[in-house]
Amino acid sequence: MEGLIGRLIVAGGKASFHPLSNAEVCIVDPVFQERLAAAAPCYVGGPHLYDGPCELTAALELIDGALSIITVTSGRYQVDGTWYEF
């Protein structure tokens, strides 16, 4: 498991994590978005459901040559200065 800090974006049924290096890592964990939605409020009316600071503990794997997050074991997402754990 790796501890990751960066920006989380959820939109159009897809989730991606952008580490501080500005790279994008696809999140393929099938229950991740449900867990996040149960823990943290989303944006209403914007282009993304979630777009903000995030810390993840996750398992990484190469899928089709690209680094992907296959399982998120825990995380924190920030909305308006409040951290939500999931």
DSSP string, 33-65: HHHHHHHSPPPSSSS-SEEEEEEEEEEEEEETT
User: What would the pLDDT profile of 20-79 be if each residue is shown by its tens digit?
Assistant: 776 789 999 999 999 999 999 998 778 899 999 999 999 999 899 888 999 999 999 999
What pLDDT score does 86 carry? Answer: 94
- In this prediction, residue 44 carries a pLDDT of 77
* C-alpha dihedral (82, 8, 46, 42), degrees to nearest 10: -40
Q: Kindly report the number of other CB atoms within 10 A of residue 56's CB atom.
A: 25
20 DSSP assignment? T
Residue 24 neighbours by CB under 8 Å, 6+ apart: 16, 17, 18
Instruction: Kindly indicate the confidence band of residue 1, based on its pLDDT and cuts at 50, 70 and 90.
Output: low
pTM for the structure as a whole: 0.77
Coil, strand or helix: which one is 21? Answer: coil
Q: Is the pLDDT of residue 2 over 70?
A: no
